[in-house]
Amino acid sequence: MKKMLLALTLAFAANFANAQDKKKDSIPPNGWTKDGNIQLLFNQSAFNKEWKGGGTSSVSGNLTLNYDLNYRMNDFTWDNKLLANYGLTKTKDDEFTRKTSDRIEFNSIAGKQLTDSNWYYSYFFNFRSQIAKGYEYSEDTDTGETIRTETTHFFSPAYLQTGPGMMWKKNDNFMFNIAPATARFIFVDDVFTSGVDYVDGDYFGVDQGKSSRFEFGASISALATFEILENVNMENSINLYSNYLDNPGNIDIDYLMNMEMTINRYLSANLLFQAIYDDNAVGAFQIREVFGLGINYKI
């Protein structure tokens, strides 16, 4: 885990340094600014019955929303970002349509600038959950049929983090925030923790019969957005969290990279990569990668 954390940190630092070289300083005007994009990624493969090379016909789609609403008034800033994505895939021989992506996240951070400095006193709020039900799939040993068991749904789990800190902000594209006194709440549906055989902490760290877990620790988050090549933009974000109350050495990691390669006003190719480490969920890295042709709509 430490090697993976080091690799992600070094990659983010390299991207951040590269971005510093390529982006000019820009101070947005006072008042509200907004920017957003809705994108539909589409993937499809098809094989006729005579095809002998192996493969299964499938179709998949992924809908993504990325919206920024920011406010500035002299030495005060308030940045808000809404992220959402939802993806499904259907293969020919599978009776179920399966999720490939499901995430909703809201970030808000307010800052009061120190005189003639890129540093700000800050206070942040972060909320993460999912949109639809999640399932685990298994096979019935008697019939051979696929069985699906619900394991998650909206607000189960849900994460809420908030706390004061210090933010370094070059502009809207480059910033990091350090919050050494962060409260974190994990919310779940107690239907998943109420079984007689349930072991405390097995479901996202929540104890038997409970619907929430409270943690107190330190949070570090960073954002770097820049242009790699003409019409090729990359947005990187990373969030680190250490819980003082339980195994502070186990650092939760959430890294997200979104690369958009613009074809024209409405079409783009998109690569999304995400790596999550949270030992309350599973003691290993969760990796997600999505690539496809995107249809864009500016909002």
Residue pLDDT, tens place only, 119-173: 999 999 999 999 999 999 998 888 888 999 999 999 999 999 999 999 999 888 8
Is residue 277 predicted with pLDDT exceeding 50? Answer: yes
Number of domains observed in the structure of the chain: 1
Domain of 243 in residue numbering reads as: 2-298
Residue holding tokens 């820009």? 26
What confidence tier does 23 reach under pLDDT thresholds 50, 70, 90? very low
What CA dihedral angle connects 262, 263, 265 and 271, to 10 degrees? -40
CB distance 72 to 30 below 8 Å: yes
Percent residues over pLDDT 70 in the chain? 91
What confidence tier does 8 reach under pLDDT thresholds 50, 70, 90? low
Is residue 15 predicted with pLDDT exceeding 70? Answer: no
Which amino acid, residue 123? Y
Closest CA to 154 of 180, 181, 122, 188: 188
- In this prediction, residue 4 carries a pLDDT of 54
For the stretch 188-212, pLDDT in tens is 999 999 988 999 999 999 999 999 9
Is residue 24 predicted with pLDDT exceeding 50? Answer: no
Beta bridge partners of 212: 187
- In this prediction, residue 179 carries a pLDDT of 98
- Please state the pTM of the whole predicted model: 0.87
- When comparing pLDDT for 2 and 66, which is higher? 66
- The DSSP result for 227-273, as a single string, is EEETTEEEEEEEEEEEETTS-TTS-EEEEEEEEEEESSSSEEEEEEE
- In this prediction, residue 26 carries a pLDDT of 55
Rounded to whole angstroms, how far apart are CA atoms 150 and 148? 7
What confidence tier does 283 reach under pLDDT thresholds 50, 70, 90? confident
- When comparing pLDDT for 16 and 108, which is higher? 108
For the stretch 203-246, pLDDT in tens is 999 999 999 999 999 999 999 999 999 999 999 999 999 999 99
**In this predicted structure, which of 1-15, 159-173, 221-235, 262-276 has the lowest mean pLDDT?**
1-15
What confidence tier does 6 reach under pLDDT thresholds 50, 70, 90? low
Is residue 66 predicted with pLDDT exceeding 70? Answer: yes
Beta pairing, strands 134-139 & 212-229: unpaired
Beta pairing, strands 252-262 & 282-298: unpaired
- In this prediction, residue 230 carries a pLDDT of 92
Query: 80-112 burial, b for 16+ CB within 10 Å, e for fewer?
Result: bbbbbbbbbbeeeeeeeeebbbbbbbbbbbbbe
What CATH number has the domain bearing residue 70? 2.40.230
